[in-house]
Amino acid sequence: MTAQFVLDDVAATLRAGKVQVNELYKFHAWEVGTTRASTGVHPKASLEAGSLFFRVALSQLARRIAVEADSPAEAFTLVATGMEESLSRRIRESAESYHGFLLNQVQEAQGEERRRIARELHDRIGHGISVAHQQLALSEVHRPTDPARAVVKIGVAQQAIQETMENLRQITSELHPQVPVRSLEKALLGFLEAVEDDVVSVGLDVNGDESWAEPRVLDEAFLIIREAARNALSHAGPSVILMRVDIAPHELSATVQDNGQGFDLSNARDRSGVGLTSMRERAELLGGRVAITSEQGNGCLVELFIPLKRQHHEPDRP
């Protein structure tokens, strides 16, 4: 379609004796740029296609001009100039359309992220502060007549503040630029220190050589394992969580097992749909999988399997 528009401009240029480009080119080019941006085609491809079309079309037209034109040199100059102008305008306009589409996508993503942060702040931080404020107010009400009840209210307020502080740490850590995981074991130990709980005993065992896994695999494995542990700490009420990672040349496998209340897998979406879906999607992007086993009252087992690319070493040549 674009080729026909360019040839139409060339014909108009020959008829008018000067460069002519149909003003509708902006609409055509804009549609092309938007379509290519939405399908992931880079503007470089448009430039290469335009260059190829220019060479082929000019070669064919030159043959016809040599035979049919009264003044071949003048006609050839008009054709070359008109075609170049038509192509360059369309390519520039489509490139602007391409970048405009991407900027809109970025804007939409930023808007969605701002809405997500607003929800997190409202639901997690706002709620916790509201509960703490309410309980402190009630403690003042009961303090003159029922000191024991007032103390209980203060304890509830303290718990709400602690939970709010933990939620705030989680939100701010997600906003901070992610530092690539250099050591999966150290990253997991750092996470456990951040969520240290006197009520829950957590065991961690990492085996194998981490150099067998690419940095991206270590990053994603850390996020998956951390999410599984977070789910257990937040929802299961366990007394023990066992985390194990085994890294072999062909596979990284990990398990997170707790002795908490467990849940019905058929209602997993109601329990922690986003977290479970996130773990599965991250694993699938690496060609791996996540398996979850749980029953009401019998804890939960999360298993992660990620295939690793084997590193082939060529023998030394003499």
81 and 21 in contact (C-beta within 8 Å)? no
Measured between alpha carbons, how far is residue 251 from residues 24, 161, 245, 266 in Å?
A: 56, 42, 11, 29
SS3 content of the chain, % helix, strand, coil (to 5): 65, 10, 20
DSSP assignment letter at 269: H
Domain ranges of the chain: 2-108, 184-307
Reported as a single tens digit per residue, the pLDDT across 122-149 is 766 777 788 888 889 889 988 899 989 8
305 pLDDT more than 90: yes
Instruction: Give every CB contact of residue 233 below 8 A, 6+ residues apart in sequence.
Output: 195, 197, 200, 241
DSSP assignment letter at 206: E
221 and 253 in contact (C-beta within 8 Å)? no
pLDDT at 213: 87
For the segment 198-211, the average pLDDT, to the nearest whole number, is 85
291 and 268 in contact (C-beta within 8 Å)? no
Distance, in Å, from the CA atom of 302 to the CA atom of 318, rounded to the nearest integer, reads 50
Torsion of CA 177, 183, 186, 189, to 10 degrees: 80
Reported as a single tens digit per residue, the pLDDT across 164-184 is 888 787 777 766 545 556 788
pLDDT at 175: 63
pLDDT at 179: 54
Reported as a single tens digit per residue, the pLDDT across 13-64 is 778 888 888 777 677 777 777 777 777 767 677 777 777 777 787 788 888 8
Distance, in Å, from the CA atom of 104 to the CA atom of 300, rounded to the nearest integer, reads 42
The highest-level CATH class for domain 184-307 is alpha beta
